[in-house]
């Protein structure tokens, strides 16, 4: 009997539970390519399959959820093993199943929102999915299940591809609703149900999410607008991270109770996702014997046209206006290393007459200092200056970044310079972890989204922010090309790296002026030949002309500072007519250098 006939005859069909968390519980840490274990650790995968069959599963899923070429190459550099991993994933499952269970080829989404800036075309997505499906079918799977999809468009492409390969192939399409009952991209179950009704899927449903309650609510809504059979495969619940390990609730009795509720909602295919175990499936199997799914009641629902949630961007920063009016003068400061802000404040008060903008660095050189948002808020309060907050992707995940930005908006900080950040390995805590959930381009995109009243995935947040978004640009051709991409993502102004080579500086500023947004050119006063050597040879992206290096080499002791001031004055005189602003970056907190340059 093939699976399609089996499905038609059965009242309901029990699938297995989690594969990934079962691998994890057997001591394989996160970060390893679990799909690759089909090759390197086949006995473990077979054991998991057999445990689920012993628990009563009539269908087991292959260990191939993330085994598409894009993910295997992007995250693990083993894209050439795509066919092999999928083929053996299918063969291992068939070996375990024998004549006791069917095998479903598991395929997860290709795209991982925000994990990578690479964007795939529709044809690329189809080609990637086709390769995986063909390898699974070659390995002998009985059906295909698309699991945990977030993007409805990508799932639709996957279904089209699967049907083009085999018109008789049984296909299950499941989408996840973890975002308060919505997909990650803000689609509700009614929209998804209606959209999937006209696709090639034989069964549609929901999996993963936050637990049984979430999936049940989603499946009820989907079931009210579609005639297609339903599937439901929830997580055990929410995961916890304790002492370096992930733990899910061990709740097989509770999970089994929801099995009955799923049947009452008309679900025909049941199973488990993250955190579920053979024990969950065993108890679910025993609780459901003799029961049948109830008939579903359809109802007409008009979901209407999608509401445009993006608001028009309104940047209210006074800095924006000042940059358009003339050349502003700014100084970069490093926040203090301790909470004594009064001493730090006194050190820069002397600049308040000549400088109208203060930029606040974010742990430069990966050395721990006060938060730039906290320091910026205090500077704004006590000095009344326009503040530009340097903000890096290094230390924070996407949740932390969004939380910081919303807090900064509430504190009245409007000017942000989006940066990648120096890696922790060069700082005073080299063992610290660099997060880098976003690149600097992705950070610009996130801040711009908040300005439109949505998060980076397009979900509405309420009132928009009003950030004036800056980007840091070096002197290389690649840096200048990157400016165009960042401007497309929403950048409003540019801050250059320190300029020493005036000929190159004039050329680059001319190119940047063509981008159509204000430019702040940076000047870093030299204080000694040793300082100049370090910057030229050890700091990426900054070069000092040989003539200036020779000038600094001739100096001794305090003469170095004097010569550095003369050089800075020459650069300032040249640049102030070529940029909308000048940023002074005095080293080692030597703010008096700025006063002497301006005198």
Domain boundaries, the chain: 3-288, 318-598
185 three-class SS: coil
pLDDT in tens, 154-179: 999 999 999 999 999 999 999 999 98
CB neighbours of residue 185 within 10 Å: 14
The overall average pLDDT reported for the chain is 93
Question: What's the token pair of residue 399?
Answer: 């949740």
Closest CA to 84 of 25, 131, 26: 131
Question: Are 3-288 and 318-598 the same fold in CATH?
Answer: yes
Question: pTM for this structure?
Answer: 0.80
Question: What's the token pair of residue 585?
Answer: 């970056």
Element (H, E) at 362: none
511 three-class SS: helix
Distance of CA 248 to the CA centre of its chain: 23
330 three-class SS: strand
CB 162 within 8 A of CB 129: yes
pLDDT at res. 495 = 97
Q: Which residue's entry shows tokens 């800036």? A: 117
CB 86 within 8 A of CB 64: yes
Q: What is the mean pLDDT of residues 19-28?
A: 92
CA angle (255 as vertex; 149, 224 as ends), nearest 5: 55
CB neighbours of residue 524 within 10 Å: 25
Give 366's DSSP letter.
G
Q: What is the mean pLDDT of residues 556-571?
A: 93
CB neighbours of residue 312 within 10 Å: 8
Residue percentage of the chain with pLDDT more than 90: 79
- CATH number of this structure's domain 3-288: 3.20.20.330
| CATH architecture of the domain with residue range 318-598 | Alpha-Beta Barrel (3.20)
d(CA 224, CA 399): 34
Question: What's the token pair of residue 502?
Answer: 């005036």
Closest CA to 65 of 93, 40, 43: 93
User: What are the two backbone dihedrals, phi and then psi, of residue 128, each rounded to the nearest 5 degrees?
Assistant: -65, -45
Q: What is the mean pLDDT of residues 32-51?
A: 97
pLDDT at res. 323 = 95
DSSP string over 145-201: EEEEE--HHHHHHHHHHHHHH-TT--EEEEE--TBTTB-TTS--HHHHHHHHHTSS-
Q: If pLDDT is split at 50, 70 and 90, which confidence band does 307 have?
A: low
Half-sphere exposure of 300 (CA within 13 A, CB side): 0
pLDDT at res. 303 = 66
pLDDT in tens, 215-239: 999 999 999 999 999 999 999 988 7
pLDDT at res. 55 = 98
Ranking 108-117, 260-269, 433-442, 547-556 by mean pLDDT, the lowest is 108-117
pLDDT in tens, 501-530: 999 999 999 999 999 999 999 999 999 999
Ranking 128-142, 407-421, 533-547 by mean pLDDT, the lowest is 533-547
Measured distance between the N- and C-terminal CA atoms of the chain, rounded to whole angstroms: 91
388 three-class SS: strand
């Amino acid at each position: 009997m093939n699976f399609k006939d089996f499905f038609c005859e059965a009242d309901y069909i029990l699938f297995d539970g989690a594969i990934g968390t079962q691998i994890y519980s057997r001591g394989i840490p996160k970060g390893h390519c679990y799909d690759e274990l089909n090759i390197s650790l086949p006995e473990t995968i077979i054991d998991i399959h057999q445990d689920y069959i012993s628990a009563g599963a009539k269908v087991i899923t292959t260990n191939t959820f993330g085994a598409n070429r894009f993910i295997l190459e992007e995250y693990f550099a083993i894209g050439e093993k795509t066919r092999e991993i999928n083929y053996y994933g299918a063969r291992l499952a068939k070996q375990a199943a024998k004549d006791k269970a069917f095998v479903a080829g598991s395929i997860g989404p290709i795209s991982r929102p925000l994990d990578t800036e690479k964007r795939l075309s529709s044809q690329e997505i189809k080609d990637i999915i086709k390769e995986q499906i063909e390898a699974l079918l070659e390995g002998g799977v009985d059906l295909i299940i698309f699991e945990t999809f977030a993007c409805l468009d990508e799932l639709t492409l996957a279904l089209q591809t699967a049907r083009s390969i085999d018109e008789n192939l049984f296909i299950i399409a499941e989408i996840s609703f973890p975002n308060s009952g919505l997909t990650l991209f803000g689609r509700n179950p009614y929209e998804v149900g209606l959209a999937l009704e006209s696709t090639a899927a034989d069964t549609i449903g929901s999996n993963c999410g936050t637990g049984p309650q979430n999936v049940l609510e989603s499946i009820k809504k989907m079931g009210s607008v579609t005639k297609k059979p339903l599937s439901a495969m929830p997580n055990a619940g929410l995961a916890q991270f304790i002492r370096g390990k992930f733990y899910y609730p061990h709740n097989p009795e509770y999970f089994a109770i929801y099995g009955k509720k799923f049947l009452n909602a008309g679900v025909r295919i049941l199973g488990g996702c993250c955190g579920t175990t053979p024990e969950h499936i065993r108890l679910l199997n025993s609780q459901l014997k003799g029961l049948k799914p109830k008939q579903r009641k359809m109802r007409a629902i008009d979901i209407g046209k999608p509401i445009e949630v993006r608001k028009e961007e309104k940047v209210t920063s006074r800095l924006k206006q000042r940059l358009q009016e003339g050349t502003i003068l700014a100084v970069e400061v490093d926040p203090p290393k301790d909470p004594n802000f009064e001493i730090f404040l006194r050190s820069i008060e002397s600049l308040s007459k000549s400088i109208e903008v203060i930029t606040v660095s974010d742990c430069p050189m990966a050395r721990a200092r006060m938060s730039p948002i906290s320091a910026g808020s205090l500077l704004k309060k006590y000095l009344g200056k326009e503040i530009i907050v340097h903000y890096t992707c290094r230390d924070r995940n996407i949740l932390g970044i969004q939380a910081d930005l919303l807090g900064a908006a509430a504190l009245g900080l409007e000017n942000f310079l989006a940066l990648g950040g120096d890696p922790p390995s060069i700082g005073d805590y080299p063992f610290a972890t660099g997060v880098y959930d976003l690149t600097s381009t992705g950070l610009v995109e996130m801040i711009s989204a908040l300005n439109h009243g949505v998060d980076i995935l397009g979900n509405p947040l309420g009132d928009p922010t009003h950030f004036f978004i800056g980007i840091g640009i070096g002197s290389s051709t690649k840096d200048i090309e990157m400016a165009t991409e960042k401007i497309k993502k929403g950048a409003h102004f540019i801050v250059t790296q320190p300029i020493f080579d005036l000929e190159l500086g004039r050329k680059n500023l001319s190119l940047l002026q063509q981008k159509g947004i204000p430019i702040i050119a940076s000047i870093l006063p030299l204080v000694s030949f040793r300082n100049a050597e370090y910057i030229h040879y050890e700091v990426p992206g900054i070069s000092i002309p040989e003539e200036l290096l020779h000038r600094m080499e001739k100096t001794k002791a305090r003469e170095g500072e004097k010569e550095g001031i003369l050089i800075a004055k020459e650069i300032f005189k040249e640049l102030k007519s070529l940029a909308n602003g000048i940023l002074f970056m005095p080293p080692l907190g030597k703010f008096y250098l700025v006063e002497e340059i301006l005198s």
